[in-house]
Amino acid sequence: MASVRKRSNKWQARVTRKGYPAETKTFLTKADAERWSRQLESEMDRGRFVSRAEAERMTFFEVLDLYMKEVSPTKRSGKDEIIRLKAMQRHKMARLRMTAITAKAIGEYRDERLQSCKAGTVVRELGMLSSIINHCIKEWGLAIQNPVSQIRKPAMPQGRDRVLSESEEQRLLEAFTPIKNRNHYMRPMVIVAIETAMRRGEILGLQWEHVNLKKRTAYLPITKNGEPRTIPLSSRAVKTIQQMPRSIDGRVFAINAAAMETCFKRGRERALLPDIHFHDLRHTATTRLAGKLSNILELSAITGHKELRMLKRYYHPKAEDLAKKLG
């Protein structure tokens, strides 16, 4: 049963039906109140009604709070995610009710963020928003739609294709020669990165207990894509690791990310290679490995790429070489 009554210059609609919780909402006009009532009754008649009361009550700020308490701590990068979510709470969108998080609201957030952030950052934030809203729907039962899929994503810039030449590699290694006060972990880190295509975080997290120099392998229990992998070590990588001193904390490279970043920036300046990023070492390694491994599945087993399409840019087979294989 639906009823609409006027209260303090507004119209309150109330829908009650056996087997359903009572639904109440206030509108500025009687027509809107009646329209809402008819919609709810129609959904109840068709058995498609889901209460929106909780979604209309909760703000996006409250959802982020709950997500940071229940979900973020379970993730490997939970601390970093919490920092990003707290920043998101300072945005005006956080004051909206969950039912007001529409495609328009998300689009306005996107456009505003693009004024101060790179497209890649905004795309990652939209992905995080989509994950949070999906969690609200699937785990917390909020009766809302995910509007993120409805909006246009910013165009991603073309990925970096910076590959070190052999002479540039030598200049970089010379810049990290451990003399005076230079960090003695940097030179072997660069070598291992170029030989294995490991990511920075994987190198920094590498433990001695996971390195098998006899089998020439290194086990990575925690990776960016969430799946552990075991990577082969080249003769050069093995020789470099063998010469490393053992640290008390069990890590092969006992240096934190901030110190490593500072040391790398200083080293690239000494090498007169200011445009080089540490991630370019992984790109260099993958490019060289692609020249040795014709099987893209073998390459992905080493690099940890989940999507093979990401590796296609490293392969440039010549037609004459393919013709020889065909016989």
Residues involved in catalysis: 199, 224, 279, 282, 305, 314
Which residue is listed with tokens 């889901």? Answer: 50
Find the helix packing angle between 60-70 and 119-138, rounded to 10°: 80
What does the CA dihedral 67, 71, 76, 81 come to, rounded to 10 degrees? 0
Q: For residue 71, count CB atoms less than 10 angstroms from its CB and return exposed for 0-12, middle for 13-18, buried for 19 or more.
A: middle
Which residue is listed with tokens 């087997």? Answer: 19
Cα separations in angstroms, 25 against 13, 17, 44:
5, 15, 16
Residue type, 289: L
Backbone phi and psi for residue 91, each to the nearest 5 degrees, phi listed first: -80, 150
Task: Please name which of 118, 197, 187 lies closest in space to residue 154, comparing C-alpha atoms.
Answer: 118
| Rounded Cα distance, 95 and 262, in Å | 38
| End-to-end C-alpha distance for the chain, whole angstroms | 79
Cα separations in angstroms, 62 against 72, 172, 280:
14, 49, 40
